Amino acid sequence: MATNIVWHEASVSKEDRREKNDHGSFCLWFTGLSGSGKSTLANALAKYLFEANVQTYVLDGDNVRHGLNKDLGFTDEDRKENIRRIGEVSKLFVDGGQIVVTAFISPFREDRQQVRDILNENEFFEIYVNCSLDECEKRDPKGLYKKARNNEIKHFTGIDSPYEAPVNPELVVNTESQSIQESVKTIVQFLEEKGLIKSGISNGI
């Protein structure tokens, strides 16, 4: 095997990787309230794309907050730095030919804009995972809203800290009126329409 590989010194470009992977590389930036379903949706999307041989990776609280960003707290400055670093890591994954899906509340427009600014056109897609505060609070999968209402957590988005909804997101999915499966389909079809992945991939959803 490997007889067609020959020696030559050079580095691999982002374009080389995209061509080899046979799909684009970009960041799908999910933003929305706690409990809106960002992480569930991101993982379901990644799983579906994985089965379709599309290189996809999810960045969320599970793999970032206890690792890269474990030195950061929840002050304004630290929240800003949290998003900045996630943006920079996303850029590395995009450079590496991957689709990176980020699942963070990322409540402030300015912070999301800064991530958009470090990526090229067609490398950053803001996806608003829309779900009413009432519904998120009803779901309360981690019991955080209850704690926030009891003042056990301070600066909780939607309770005593603002959430700035996207003004012109590339896509909106509504996890209150749509199932996760329907939301994944909406996103995969969006990627097909943009020519970022091969058409037909959404057929199995």
Which residues are at the interface with a second copy (CB under 8 A)?
1-12, 16-17, 20, 40, 43-44, 46-48, 50-53, 55-59, 63-64, 67-68, 71, 81, 85, 88-89, 91-93, 95-98, 118, 180-181, 184, 198, 200-205
H or E segment to which residue 15 belongs: helix 14-21
Any catalytic annotation for residue 106? Answer: yes
- Best CA proximity match to 84, nearest among 122, 110, 66, 62: 110
34 is in an annotated binding site: yes
Pure H helices in 22-153: 38-51, 61-64, 76-95, 109-118, 133-139, 144-149
3-state secondary structure (DSSP) of residue 172: strand
11 annotated among ligand-binding-site residues? no
Known binding residue 32? Answer is yes
How far from 149 is each of 21, 104, 108, 138, CA to CA, in Å? 47, 21, 21, 13
Give me the least distance between CB of 61 and a second copy, in Å please: 13
Whether residue 35 is annotated as binding a ligand: the answer is yes
Write down the least CB distance from residue 140 to a second copy, Å. 20
Residue closer to a second copy (CB basis): 96 or 133: 96
- Cβ nearer to a second copy, comparing 67 with 121: 67
Taking the least distance from each CB to a second copy, the nearer of 1 and 167 is 1
Q: Which of 11, 25, 90, 106 is catalytic?
A: 106
**Closest distance to a second copy from the beta carbon of 8 (Å):** 7
Contacts of 139 (CB under 8 A, 6+ apart): 35
Tell me the closest approach of the beta carbon of residue 51 to a second copy, in angstroms.
Answer: 5
DSSP state of 40: H
161 in a known ligand binding site: no
- 50 phi/psi in degrees, rounded to 5: -55, -45
CA-CA distance, 145 to 88, in Å (whole number)? 30
**Nearer CB in complex with a second copy: 148/188:** 188
Q: Which residues are annotated as a binding site?
A: 32-39
Residues that are catalytic? 106
